[in-house]
Amino acid sequence: MVWRPTLPRDARESVERLAVRKTYKLFIGGAFPRSESGRSYAVTSSKGEFLANASKASRKDARDAVVAARKAFGGWSGATAYNRGQVIYRIAEMLEGRRAQFAAELVAADGVSAKKAGELVDAAVDRLVWYAGWSDKISAIRGSANPVAGPYFNLSSTEPTGVVAVVAPPMGPLLGLVSVVVPVIVTGNTCVVVASGRAPLPSVTLAEVLATSDLPGGVVNILTGDAAELAPWLAGHMDVNGIDLTGAAPELAVACEQLAAENLKRVIRPPDGEIDWLADPGTGRMTAFLETKTVWHPIGV
Protein backbone atom coordinates (compact mmCIF):
# COMPACT_ATOMS: atom_id res chain seq x y z
CA MET A 1 0.00 0.00 0.00
CA VAL A 2 1.28 3.47 -0.90
CA TRP A 3 0.58 6.17 1.66
CA ARG A 4 -0.37 9.56 0.21
CA PRO A 5 -0.62 12.49 2.60
CA THR A 6 -3.75 14.56 2.17
CA LEU A 7 -4.97 17.82 3.55
CA PRO A 8 -8.27 18.11 5.34
CA ARG A 9 -11.07 19.24 3.02
CA ASP A 10 -11.30 22.66 4.66
CA ALA A 11 -7.55 23.18 4.23
CA ARG A 12 -7.67 22.13 0.55
CA GLU A 13 -10.46 24.60 -0.14
CA SER A 14 -8.52 27.45 1.49
CA VAL A 15 -5.27 26.91 -0.46
CA GLU A 16 -4.87 29.38 -3.33
CA ARG A 17 -2.86 28.42 -6.40
CA LEU A 18 0.28 30.50 -6.94
CA ALA A 19 0.60 31.90 -10.45
CA VAL A 20 3.76 31.07 -12.39
CA ARG A 21 5.86 34.23 -12.53
CA LYS A 22 7.06 34.95 -16.03
CA THR A 23 10.73 35.66 -16.65
CA TYR A 24 11.14 38.48 -19.17
CA LYS A 25 14.40 38.09 -21.09
CA LEU A 26 16.14 39.66 -24.06
CA PHE A 27 15.59 38.50 -27.64
CA ILE A 28 18.85 38.06 -29.55
CA GLY A 29 19.46 35.90 -32.59
CA GLY A 30 16.11 34.14 -32.21
CA ALA A 31 16.90 33.07 -28.62
CA PHE A 32 15.91 34.46 -25.22
CA PRO A 33 19.08 35.00 -23.16
CA ARG A 34 19.30 36.80 -19.86
CA SER A 35 21.51 39.86 -19.79
CA GLU A 36 25.17 38.89 -19.51
CA SER A 37 25.42 41.44 -16.71
CA GLY A 38 22.79 39.62 -14.66
CA ARG A 39 20.94 42.92 -14.14
CA SER A 40 17.19 43.41 -14.09
CA TYR A 41 14.78 46.19 -13.21
CA ALA A 42 11.25 46.39 -11.89
CA VAL A 43 8.45 47.12 -14.36
CA THR A 44 5.42 48.83 -12.88
CA SER A 45 1.90 49.49 -14.12
CA SER A 46 0.44 52.90 -14.90
CA LYS A 47 -0.67 52.97 -11.25
CA GLY A 48 2.80 52.18 -9.91
CA GLU A 49 2.02 48.55 -9.11
CA PHE A 50 4.74 45.93 -9.60
CA LEU A 51 4.24 43.84 -12.75
CA ALA A 52 7.47 41.96 -13.39
CA ASN A 53 11.24 42.09 -13.50
CA ALA A 54 12.73 42.67 -16.96
CA SER A 55 16.32 42.07 -18.03
CA LYS A 56 18.47 45.19 -18.20
CA ALA A 57 20.65 44.84 -21.29
CA SER A 58 24.29 45.85 -21.25
CA ARG A 59 26.59 47.09 -24.01
CA LYS A 60 27.83 43.50 -24.41
CA ASP A 61 24.24 42.41 -25.09
CA ALA A 62 23.94 45.20 -27.66
CA ARG A 63 27.13 44.02 -29.36
CA ASP A 64 25.78 40.48 -29.49
CA ALA A 65 22.54 41.78 -31.00
CA VAL A 66 24.43 43.67 -33.74
CA VAL A 67 26.43 40.53 -34.55
CA ALA A 68 23.18 38.52 -34.80
CA ALA A 69 21.56 41.18 -37.00
CA ARG A 70 24.55 41.28 -39.35
CA LYS A 71 24.62 37.50 -39.59
CA ALA A 72 20.92 37.44 -40.54
CA PHE A 73 21.17 40.30 -43.04
CA GLY A 74 22.43 38.28 -46.01
CA GLY A 75 19.63 35.74 -45.95
CA TRP A 76 16.87 38.21 -45.15
CA SER A 77 17.88 40.83 -47.72
CA GLY A 78 18.41 38.06 -50.29
CA ALA A 79 14.89 36.68 -49.83
CA THR A 80 12.28 37.74 -52.35
CA ALA A 81 10.14 40.71 -51.43
CA TYR A 82 7.07 38.49 -51.75
CA ASN A 83 8.53 36.03 -49.22
CA ARG A 84 9.26 38.83 -46.73
CA GLY A 85 5.64 39.93 -47.09
CA GLN A 86 4.47 36.39 -46.34
CA VAL A 87 6.58 36.24 -43.19
CA ILE A 88 5.26 39.59 -41.93
CA TYR A 89 1.70 38.48 -42.65
CA ARG A 90 2.41 35.38 -40.58
CA ILE A 91 3.50 37.61 -37.70
CA ALA A 92 0.12 39.36 -37.94
CA GLU A 93 -1.63 35.99 -37.73
CA MET A 94 0.33 35.03 -34.62
CA LEU A 95 -0.24 38.39 -32.96
CA GLU A 96 -3.98 38.16 -33.57
CA GLY A 97 -4.01 34.76 -31.89
CA ARG A 98 -2.61 36.32 -28.70
CA ARG A 99 -4.88 39.35 -28.77
CA ALA A 100 -6.17 38.89 -25.21
CA GLN A 101 -2.67 38.72 -23.72
CA PHE A 102 -1.49 41.86 -25.52
CA ALA A 103 -4.66 43.72 -24.56
CA ALA A 104 -4.15 42.82 -20.89
CA GLU A 105 -0.55 44.06 -21.02
CA LEU A 106 -1.62 47.36 -22.58
CA VAL A 107 -4.27 47.85 -19.89
CA ALA A 108 -1.59 47.40 -17.23
CA ALA A 109 1.07 49.47 -19.00
CA ASP A 110 -0.97 52.44 -20.21
CA GLY A 111 -4.00 52.34 -17.95
CA VAL A 112 -6.36 52.34 -20.93
CA SER A 113 -9.72 50.58 -20.93
CA ALA A 114 -10.00 47.00 -22.12
CA LYS A 115 -11.93 48.20 -25.17
CA LYS A 116 -9.24 50.73 -26.10
CA ALA A 117 -6.50 48.16 -25.56
CA GLY A 118 -8.27 45.76 -27.91
CA GLU A 119 -8.51 48.48 -30.54
CA LEU A 120 -4.78 49.17 -30.24
CA VAL A 121 -3.95 45.48 -30.67
CA ASP A 122 -6.21 45.33 -33.72
CA ALA A 123 -4.45 48.40 -35.12
CA ALA A 124 -1.06 46.72 -34.64
CA VAL A 125 -2.29 43.64 -36.52
CA ASP A 126 -3.66 45.83 -39.32
CA ARG A 127 -0.36 47.73 -39.47
CA LEU A 128 1.54 44.47 -39.98
CA VAL A 129 -0.81 43.42 -42.78
CA TRP A 130 -0.49 46.87 -44.38
CA TYR A 131 3.30 46.72 -44.46
CA ALA A 132 3.22 43.10 -45.66
CA GLY A 133 1.30 44.30 -48.69
CA TRP A 134 4.00 46.88 -49.46
CA SER A 135 6.85 44.36 -49.48
CA ASP A 136 6.83 43.76 -53.25
CA LYS A 137 5.58 47.21 -54.22
CA ILE A 138 7.92 49.70 -52.54
CA SER A 139 10.65 49.08 -55.12
CA ALA A 140 8.21 49.98 -57.88
CA ILE A 141 7.57 53.45 -56.50
CA ARG A 142 11.21 54.09 -55.56
CA GLY A 143 12.89 52.53 -58.58
CA SER A 144 12.74 53.99 -62.07
CA ALA A 145 13.95 53.85 -65.64
CA ASN A 146 15.69 57.19 -66.13
CA PRO A 147 15.80 59.04 -69.47
CA VAL A 148 19.39 59.82 -70.50
CA ALA A 149 21.00 61.56 -73.46
CA GLY A 150 22.69 58.61 -75.14
CA PRO A 151 22.21 54.99 -76.26
CA TYR A 152 21.94 53.61 -72.74
CA PHE A 153 19.46 52.10 -70.36
CA ASN A 154 19.67 53.87 -67.00
CA LEU A 155 17.87 51.92 -64.27
CA SER A 156 17.56 52.76 -60.56
CA SER A 157 16.59 50.11 -58.03
CA THR A 158 16.43 49.96 -54.24
CA GLU A 159 18.57 48.01 -51.80
CA PRO A 160 18.32 47.72 -48.00
CA THR A 161 20.74 49.80 -45.94
CA GLY A 162 21.83 46.98 -43.62
CA VAL A 163 21.66 46.78 -39.83
CA VAL A 164 19.41 49.44 -38.28
CA ALA A 165 19.20 50.38 -34.59
CA VAL A 166 15.76 51.46 -33.41
CA VAL A 167 14.93 53.36 -30.21
CA ALA A 168 11.29 52.44 -29.69
CA PRO A 169 8.84 55.15 -28.60
CA PRO A 170 7.95 55.25 -24.89
CA MET A 171 4.27 55.73 -25.72
CA GLY A 172 2.41 53.16 -27.76
CA PRO A 173 4.40 50.17 -26.48
CA LEU A 174 2.82 47.83 -29.04
CA LEU A 175 1.45 49.86 -31.96
CA GLY A 176 4.36 52.31 -31.80
CA LEU A 177 6.85 49.45 -31.67
CA VAL A 178 5.28 47.70 -34.67
CA SER A 179 5.17 51.00 -36.55
CA VAL A 180 8.92 51.59 -36.24
CA VAL A 181 10.20 48.01 -36.57
CA VAL A 182 8.18 46.56 -39.46
CA PRO A 183 9.03 49.27 -42.04
CA VAL A 184 12.71 48.56 -41.34
CA ILE A 185 12.52 44.82 -41.95
CA VAL A 186 9.96 44.75 -44.76
CA THR A 187 12.52 46.28 -47.12
CA GLY A 188 15.21 43.74 -46.23
CA ASN A 189 17.04 45.38 -43.33
CA THR A 190 17.68 43.70 -39.99
CA CYS A 191 17.43 45.59 -36.70
CA VAL A 192 18.35 45.93 -33.05
CA VAL A 193 15.54 47.44 -31.02
CA VAL A 194 15.83 49.23 -27.68
CA ALA A 195 12.37 48.65 -26.24
CA SER A 196 10.39 51.17 -24.24
CA GLY A 197 11.92 51.28 -20.77
CA ARG A 198 8.62 52.45 -19.33
CA ALA A 199 6.53 49.61 -20.75
CA PRO A 200 8.75 46.80 -22.06
CA LEU A 201 6.44 43.84 -21.52
CA PRO A 202 4.52 44.11 -24.86
CA SER A 203 7.91 44.21 -26.60
CA VAL A 204 9.05 40.96 -25.01
CA THR A 205 5.70 39.33 -25.73
CA LEU A 206 6.02 40.49 -29.34
CA ALA A 207 9.44 38.80 -29.37
CA GLU A 208 7.69 35.53 -28.48
CA VAL A 209 5.38 36.06 -31.46
CA LEU A 210 8.39 36.68 -33.72
CA ALA A 211 10.15 33.58 -32.41
CA THR A 212 7.15 31.36 -33.19
CA SER A 213 6.52 32.85 -36.62
CA ASP A 214 8.57 32.23 -39.77
CA LEU A 215 10.91 35.17 -39.13
CA PRO A 216 14.56 34.00 -39.26
CA GLY A 217 16.53 34.44 -36.05
CA GLY A 218 18.49 37.68 -35.87
CA VAL A 219 16.28 39.71 -38.20
CA VAL A 220 14.75 41.45 -35.18
CA ASN A 221 16.62 41.63 -31.86
CA ILE A 222 14.93 43.26 -28.86
CA LEU A 223 16.77 44.69 -25.86
CA THR A 224 15.07 45.89 -22.69
CA GLY A 225 16.75 48.36 -20.38
CA ASP A 226 17.99 51.93 -20.39
CA ALA A 227 17.97 53.71 -23.77
CA ALA A 228 20.42 56.30 -22.41
CA GLU A 229 22.93 53.49 -21.87
CA LEU A 230 22.33 51.49 -25.06
CA ALA A 231 21.44 54.02 -27.77
CA PRO A 232 24.76 55.97 -27.81
CA TRP A 233 26.73 52.77 -28.11
CA LEU A 234 24.57 51.59 -31.02
CA ALA A 235 24.80 55.04 -32.66
CA GLY A 236 28.59 54.87 -32.65
CA HIS A 237 28.85 51.21 -33.66
CA MET A 238 30.70 50.94 -36.98
CA ASP A 239 28.64 47.94 -38.11
CA VAL A 240 25.31 49.73 -37.64
CA ASN A 241 24.18 51.37 -40.87
CA GLY A 242 21.23 53.41 -39.66
CA ILE A 243 19.44 54.50 -36.50
CA ASP A 244 15.85 55.49 -35.80
CA LEU A 245 15.77 57.86 -32.81
CA THR A 246 11.98 58.17 -32.63
CA GLY A 247 11.90 57.17 -28.97
CA ALA A 248 14.98 59.09 -27.84
CA ALA A 249 14.77 62.11 -25.54
CA PRO A 250 16.04 65.37 -27.13
CA GLU A 251 19.41 65.42 -25.35
CA LEU A 252 19.98 61.73 -26.04
CA ALA A 253 19.04 62.19 -29.69
CA VAL A 254 21.60 64.97 -30.16
CA ALA A 255 24.35 62.85 -28.61
CA CYS A 256 23.40 59.89 -30.82
CA GLU A 257 23.40 62.04 -33.97
CA GLN A 258 26.91 63.22 -33.16
CA LEU A 259 28.11 59.65 -32.63
CA ALA A 260 26.38 58.50 -35.81
CA ALA A 261 28.35 61.07 -37.78
CA GLU A 262 31.57 59.15 -37.12
CA ASN A 263 30.66 56.81 -39.97
CA LEU A 264 28.03 56.92 -42.70
CA LYS A 265 24.64 56.28 -41.10
CA ARG A 266 21.11 57.10 -42.07
CA VAL A 267 19.31 58.79 -39.15
CA ILE A 268 15.64 59.36 -38.37
CA ARG A 269 15.36 62.18 -35.86
CA PRO A 270 12.75 62.18 -33.09
CA PRO A 271 9.54 64.09 -33.87
CA ASP A 272 8.88 67.57 -32.54
CA GLY A 273 5.62 66.48 -30.94
CA GLU A 274 3.74 63.33 -30.03
CA ILE A 275 3.06 60.95 -32.91
CA ASP A 276 -0.45 59.72 -33.66
CA TRP A 277 0.31 56.05 -34.25
CA LEU A 278 -3.24 55.44 -35.46
CA ALA A 279 -2.75 57.80 -38.42
CA ASP A 280 -1.78 56.64 -41.91
CA PRO A 281 1.95 55.85 -41.63
CA GLY A 282 2.81 56.56 -45.27
CA THR A 283 5.93 55.14 -46.91
CA GLY A 284 8.52 57.43 -45.31
CA ARG A 285 9.77 54.95 -42.73
CA MET A 286 10.28 52.28 -45.39
CA THR A 287 12.23 54.53 -47.72
CA ALA A 288 14.33 56.07 -44.92
CA PHE A 289 16.53 52.98 -44.81
CA LEU A 290 16.73 52.18 -48.52
CA GLU A 291 19.68 52.86 -50.80
CA THR A 292 19.29 53.54 -54.53
CA LYS A 293 21.55 51.74 -56.98
CA THR A 294 21.74 53.04 -60.57
CA VAL A 295 22.99 50.89 -63.41
CA TRP A 296 23.95 52.02 -66.94
CA HIS A 297 23.75 49.53 -69.78
CA PRO A 298 24.34 50.10 -73.49
CA ILE A 299 21.29 49.63 -75.70
CA GLY A 300 21.60 46.73 -78.13
CA VAL A 301 24.31 44.89 -76.19
Q: What percent of the chain clears pLDDT 70, i.e. is strictly above it?
A: 94
pTM for this one? 0.89
User: What pLDDT is stored for residue 127 in this prediction?
Assistant: 97
Give domain 25-34+51-298's CATH number out of 3.40.605.10, 3.30.930.10, 1.25.60.10, 3.90.1150.10: 3.40.605.10
Average pLDDT over residues 212-225: 95
How confident is the model over 124-141, as pLDDT tens digits? 999 999 999 999 998 888
Average pLDDT over residues 37-46: 90
Distance CA 116, CA 132 (A): 24
Pick from 207, 220, 208, 192: which is nearest to 76 by CA?
A: 220
Distance CA 164, CA 235 (A): 10
Beta bridge partners of 192: 165, 221
Q: What percent of the chain clears pLDDT 90, i.e. is strictly above it?
A: 71
Task: Answer whether residue 12 shows pLDDT above 60.
Answer: no
Higher pLDDT, 13 or 123: 123
- Please report which confidence band the pLDDT of residue 16 belongs to, taking 50, 70 and 90 as the band edges: confident
3-state secondary structure of 158: strand
Q: Which class for 244: exposed (0-12), middle (13-18), buried (19 or more C-beta within 10 A)?
A: buried
Side-chain-side CA neighbours of 133 within 13 Å: the count stands at 8
Domain assignments of the chain as residue spans, ordered by start: 25-34+51-298
Please state, in angstroms and as integers, the Cα–Cα distance from residue 216 to each residue in 73, 93, 281, 287, following that order: 10, 16, 25, 22
Distance CA 123, CA 106 (A): 13
